[in-house]
């Protein structure tokens, strides 16, 4: 039923993720008027964050997904009226081989229906129970001694939190504990760590009630972290200096973290205060960057391919070059790599080419290459000088040994400034990137510290004569080769 929506109705899709963009493309192809997207977290020329910027006649279309309830709840909390929310249903696949383009459009449109969306009763009951638990949590927290420190993550333990926790535990065992909810990774080195928790058991909840501070390196918007940060001071380590636009937490006026930590004085003054709310901004460095100031034996190799594997690769194939592109959240992640040319060049120049992809892309790449999904380094079939690094593992102990870095728009480029080694920016889709992601947080002159290329052939030509970058960005940003983990531990315990 299309009641309330016709092809002249201005539509906004929520959220602006790859699935949402795919739905927008489908609706546009069948004649619907899709004006843009609504998203609480993302920003861009075609993304709306405020209900005041939506025409009064417009509707917000949600697509059916496991996260639809939380997306709708977030919109309602931000004062989007319930009457604006509609759910889109698309039935099966159609074949248009014998129909004209006009008939195809009509048939595809018949396959699309809309219905008013309302949060299900189970969601409302869940919220009520959570409110009761919240009151109990607050009451218990009033009487507990504050002597523990919570290192928190959802989905996976990223490197900054994990390394900061490990250093804290090494220096003051018994104080920190690690909590990861809905984890999709397994780190074998943590199997015997009795201070690591993966669910909200009574023991976990007691430790949380005793927590003096929470340490994170991502923004989380779920109920659990929203409750915890309301009552426990948060130290945000983040996970890199940004080039691309970030949502931060500035659009949540009730949030003000205790400290925001980065690796740059300049970013803490010019960029981060505009998108993150915090009482103080400190340049202590990122724990993952400690690897650039340490010898291989001094580094923490947790959740990384071992040093022995690295030495074996270097011995067999030569110095490593790391290719680490960012993830394209609009769905086009087919990197135009000429693997045969890269392998030939690597063999000629005694190099090993290490591919480090986003987990989703790594999975697709593995399937395309006929590789089994493994949490270990794999040599590509027919390309003995090219290796796929496990997507869920820490690349930084290897990056510190790299001859050069190839990336595009990723924050890893800023981290690699600390190495004073060559950086190549493989930006084959710059125009599309800017069109879909919107304006960047910083100018190219404050990001590029090497050669920009648009093809594999250009990339290899630059790598053949690569020289250490001569950029002054490291000095401009106030980035120093200091060990961050110990400084952060002292900050957390203050």
* pLDDT value at residue 127: 81
119-128, 149-158, 197-206, 283-292: which range is least confident on average?
119-128
Mean pLDDT in residue range 242-258: 86
Could you report the per-residue pLDDT of 475-489, keeping only the tens digit for each? 999 998 889 999 999
What's residue 43's pLDDT? 67
The Cα–Cα gap between 52 and 23 comes to 24
pLDDT at 188 over 80: yes
- Residues 195-228: tens digit of each pLDDT: 999 999 999 999 999 999 999 999 998 888 988 9
Quick check: 329 pLDDT over 70? no
**213 DSSP β-pair partners:** 149
Instruction: Quote the percentage of the chain above a pLDDT of 70.
Output: 94
pLDDT higher for 78 or 180? 180
Output the pLDDT for position 363: 83
Judged against a pLDDT cut of 60, whether residue 104 lies above it is answered with: no
Give the separation between CA 142 and CA 489, rounded to whole angstroms.
25
Q: Is the pLDDT of residue 108 over 60?
A: no
Predicted confidence (pLDDT) at residue 448 exceeds the cutoff of 90: yes
Inter-CA distances, 195 with 253, 289, 304, Å: 33, 25, 21
Q: Does pLDDT of 253 surpass 90?
A: no
The CA-CA-CA angle for residues 454, 458, 463, to 5°, reads: 120
pLDDT reported for residue 358: 84
Q: Average pLDDT of 165-186?
A: 96
Q: Please give the pLDDT value at position 110.
A: 55
Across residues 254-267, what is the average pLDDT?
95
pLDDT of residue 79: 86
Q: Is the peptide bond before 469 cis (omega within 30 degrees of 0)?
A: no
Among 191, 193, 133, smallest CA distance to 165 is for 193
Specify which of 14-28, 42-56, 294-308 reaches the highest per-range mean pLDDT. 294-308
* pLDDT tens readout for residues 379-398: 999 999 999 999 999 999 99
Q: CA dist 397 to 401, 406, 420, Å?
A: 7, 16, 16
Between 42 and 434, the more confident residue is: 434
pLDDT score recorded for residue 466: 84
The pLDDT confidence band at residue 105, using thresholds 50, 70 and 90, is very low
Scored b (16 or more CB within 10 A) or e, 455-478 reads ebeebbebbeebeebebebbeebe
The predicted pLDDT at position 333 comes to 62
Q: How far apart (Å, rounded) are the C-alpha atoms in residues 210 and 212? A: 6
Is the Cα torsion angle 164, 168, 174, 175 positive or negative in sign?
Answer: negative
At 223 the pLDDT is 83
Lowest mean pLDDT among 250-259, 389-398, 443-452: 250-259
**Residues of the chain with pLDDT > 90: what percent?**
65
Distance CA 494, CA 170 (A): 17
Does residue 77 surpass a pLDDT of 90? no
State the average pLDDT over residues 118-142: 86
Q: What is the mean pLDDT of residues 182-192?
A: 94
Tell me which of 228-237, 244-253, 293-302, 328-337 is least confident: 328-337
Nearest to 123 by CA among 64, 199, 72, 61: 72
Q: Which of 107-121, 376-390, 406-420, 421-435 has the least mean pLDDT?
A: 107-121
pLDDT, greater one: 299 or 250: 299
CA distance 71 to 85: 11
Report the pLDDT value the prediction gives residue 103, as an integer from 0 to 100: 45
pLDDT-derived band at 470 (thresholds 50, 70, 90) equals low
Mean pLDDT across the stretch 270-286?
96
The arithmetic mean of pLDDT across residues 426-452, rounded, is: 88
Mean residue pLDDT of the chain comes to 89
Phi-psi group of 493: left, alpha or beta (phi > 0 → left; psi -120 to 50 → alpha; rest → beta): alpha
Task: State the average pLDDT over residues 287-298.
Answer: 97
| Mean pLDDT, rounded, for 12-30 | 88
**Long-range contacts for 222-231 (Cβ within 8 Å, ≥24 apart)?**
222/70, 222/154, 223/127, 223/130, 224/154, 224/181, 224/200, 225/152, 225/154, 227/130, 227/134, 227/137, 228/150, 228/152, 229/255, 229/257, 230/254, 231/137, 231/138, 231/141
């Amino acid at each position: 039923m299309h009641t309330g929506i016709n092809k002249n109705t201005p539509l906004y899709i929520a959220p602006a993720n790859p699935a949402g963009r795919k739905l927008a493309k489908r609706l546009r192809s069948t004649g619907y008027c899709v004006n843009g997207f609504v998203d609480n977290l993302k920003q861009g020329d075609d993304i709306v964050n405020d209900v005041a910027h939506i025409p009064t006649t417009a509707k917000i279309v949600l697509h059916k997904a496991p996260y639809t309830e939380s997306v709708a709840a977030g919109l309602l909390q931000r004062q989007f009226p319930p009457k604006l929310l509609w759910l889109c249903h698309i039935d099966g696949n159609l074949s248009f081989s014998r129909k004209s383009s006009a008939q195809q459009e009509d048939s595809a449109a018949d396959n699309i229906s809309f219905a008013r969306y309302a949060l299900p009763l189970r969601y409302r009951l869940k919220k009520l129970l959570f409110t009761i638990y919240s009151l109990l949590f607050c009451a218990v927290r009033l009487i507990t001694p504050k002597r523990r420190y919570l290192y928190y993550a959802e989905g996976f333990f990223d490197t900054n939190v994990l390394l900061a926790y490990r250093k804290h535990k090494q220096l003051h065992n018994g104080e920190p504990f690690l909590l990861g909810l809905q984890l999709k990774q397994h780190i074998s080195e943590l199997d015997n760590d009795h201070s690591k928790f993966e669910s909200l058991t009574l023991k976990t909840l007691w430790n949380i009630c005793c927590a003096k501070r929470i340490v994170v390196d991502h923004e989380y918007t779920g109920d659990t972290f929203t409750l915890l940060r309301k009552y426990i001071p948060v130290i945000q380590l983040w996970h890199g200096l940004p080039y691309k636009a970030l949502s931060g937490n500035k659009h949540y006026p009730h949030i003000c973290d205790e400290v925001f930590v980065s690796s740059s004085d300049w970013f803490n003054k010019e960029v981060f205060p505009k998108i993150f709310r915090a009482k103080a901004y400190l340049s202590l460095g990122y724990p993952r960057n400690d690897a650039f100031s340490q010898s291989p034996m001094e580094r923490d190799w947790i959740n990384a391919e071992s040093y022995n594997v690295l030495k074996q690769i270097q011995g067999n194939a030569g110095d490593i070059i790391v290719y680490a592109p960012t993830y394209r959240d609009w769905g086009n992640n087919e990197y135009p790599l000429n693997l045969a040319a890269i392998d030939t060049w690597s063999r000629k120049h005694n190099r090993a080419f290490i591919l480090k992809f986003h987990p989703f892309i790594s999975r697709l790449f593995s399937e395309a290459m006929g590789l089994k999904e493994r949490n270990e380094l794999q040599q590509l079939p027919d390309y003995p000088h090219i290796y796929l690094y496990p997507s869920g593992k820490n690349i930084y102990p290897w990056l510190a040994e790299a001859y050069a870095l190839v990336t595009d728009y990723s924050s890893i480029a800023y981290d690699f400034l600390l190495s004073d080694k060559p950086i190549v920016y493989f930006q084959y889709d710059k125009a599309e990137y800017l069109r879909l992601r919107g304006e960047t947080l910083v100018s190219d002159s404050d990001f590029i510290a090497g050669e920009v290329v648009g093809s594999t052939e250009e990339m290899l030509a630059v790598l053949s004569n690569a020289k250490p970058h001569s950029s002054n960005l490291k000095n401009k940003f106030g980035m120093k080769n200091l060990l961050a983990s110990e400084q952060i531990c002292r900050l957390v315990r203050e």
